[in-house]
Amino acid sequence: MELQLTNEESYFIQKREEVLETISLPNKSFLQKSYDFKKISALKNEPNFVFLIAGWVAQTYRLMQIKNPIDQFVKQDIVNMLTGYWSILSFEELIKAFELERFGAYKEKTEHYQLFDCNYISQVLKKYQAWKRENKIELNISKEKETQLIDKDEIQKIMIEAVNNKYNEYLLENTISEPFIHVFKELVEQGRIKLSNANTPKLEIYYQSKLEQARAEILKETELDVSSDKSKRMSNRAIIQSIVSGIENDDAKTKIEIRAKKIVLTEFFKSEKDKLSTKIL
């Protein structure tokens, strides 16, 4: 018996076909193009957006082999979540995230317990964001610099927003995601995070302790990273040997320095959270 599609599903399938070629690109090409994808925050203003999401929900929960029907209140909850917290993603990324889940591309499978709801969707999307971050770092993918000149006031405004957005992320997730080095650098330039020098022995001790903490974390994570990729395993082995020997190679030094900055930034944000600060700059 042929499955009857709703109008929402038919519309979704049509729109999916339009982006299927992009979704099917190799990971590097897909991630490079992702900077140009239209985000949900912009899509939600289009007249057929709710129609599109309803079709995505109906098709995706079937593909995930979920048999329980979805309550109308749950559908609305999903729409509210996607237009709010997850509006930073695009239509293409919604499809890609659950494709990766179906194909077993993530380290672990998320159990849906026959429920397609906000909790399950968020768990998959969080894994997608982690997958995207890891692959961008591994493949050295970053957004090309804008050729258009921006005045100093506009740059300052952008950096203040970046710092406050990263702090808001910390308040919500209790962690800091990549990229964050630009935020660390801005806070140093603003004098909110102090670097050590010859006249600040206490700060020198503090930063050395953070480097030791970062070194221990990187060593433990690298030892636990069982990659199926031979080159990645060889790189991990070299990092482990260099840290243990005390003669760190460039890869190990870079990872340790980045992690130390993340630790310092996290502790700074925690101190601001303890002071009930709603923003940093």
How far is 126 from 189, CA to CA, in rounded Å? 32
Does 41 score more than 50 pLDDT? yes
Most confident of the ranges 10-19, 24-33, 59-68, 223-232: 24-33
Give residue 254's pLDDT band: very low, low, confident or very high (50, 70, 90). confident
Query: Is 144 a domain residue?
Result: no
Q: Which of 112, 138, 164 is the last residue of a domain?
A: 138
Does 38 score more than 70 pLDDT? yes
Does 267 score more than 90 pLDDT? yes
Residues 14 and 127 in one domain: yes
Kindly report the CA angle at 65 between 121 and 81, in degrees rounded to 5? 15
- pLDDT at position 145: 47
Residues 134 and 160 in one domain: no
Q: Which of 73, 105, 138 is the last residue of a domain?
A: 138
Query: Is 215 a domain residue?
Result: yes
- pLDDT at position 210: 93
Query: Is 1 a domain residue?
Result: no
pLDDT in tens, 162-178: 899 999 999 999 999 87
Query: Is 145 a domain residue?
Result: no
What is the distance of C-alpha 17 from the center of its chain?
Answer: 26
Q: What is the mean pLDDT of residues 67-81?
A: 84
How far is 160 from 258, CA to CA, in rounded Å? 21
Residues 70 and 159 in one domain: no
Please name the residue that has the structure tokens 């997608």: 128
Residues 124 and 157 in one domain: no
Residues 156 and 130 in one domain: no
Does 87 score more than 80 pLDDT? yes
- pLDDT at position 65: 85
Q: Which of 138, 167, 195 is the last residue of a domain?
A: 138
Percent helix, strand and coil across the chain, each to the nearest 5:
65, 0, 35
Element (H, E) at 271: helix 250-274
Residues whose CB falls within 8 Å of the CB of residue 33, separated by 6 or more in sequence, listed in order: 22, 25
Residues 103 and 166 in one domain: no
Give residue 69's pLDDT band: very low, low, confident or very high (50, 70, 90). confident
- pLDDT at position 153: 79
226 versus 192: the higher-pLDDT residue is 192
Query: Is 64 a domain residue?
Result: yes
Does 77 score more than 90 pLDDT? no
Find the DSSP H helices in 139-178: 152-173
Residues 84 and 127 in one domain: yes
Mean pLDDT of the chain: 85
* DSSP secondary structure, 25-84, as one string: S-HHHHHHHGGGSPBHHHHTTSTTHHHHHHHHHHHHHHHTT--SPPPHHHHHHHHHHHHT
Residues 161 and 120 in one domain: no
Does 128 score more than 80 pLDDT? yes
Query: Is 234 a domain residue?
Result: yes
Which of 111, 8, 5, 116 has its CA nearest to residue 68?
Answer: 116
Query: Is 208 a domain residue?
Result: yes
Query: Is 143 a domain residue?
Result: no
Residues 75 and 119 in one domain: yes
- pLDDT at position 217: 92
Considering its fold, how many domains does the chain have in total?
A: 2
Does 2 score more than 50 pLDDT? no
Residues 207 and 97 in one domain: no
Does 263 score more than 90 pLDDT? yes
Residues 130 and 61 in one domain: yes
Residues whose CB falls within 8 Å of the CB of residue 81, separated by 6 or more in sequence, listed in order: 118, 121, 122
Give residue 5's pLDDT band: very low, low, confident or very high (50, 70, 90). low
Residues 106 and 39 in one domain: yes
- pLDDT at position 215: 92
- Domain range for 73 is 7-138
Helix axes 250-274, 181-189, angle to 10 degrees: 60
- pLDDT at position 147: 41
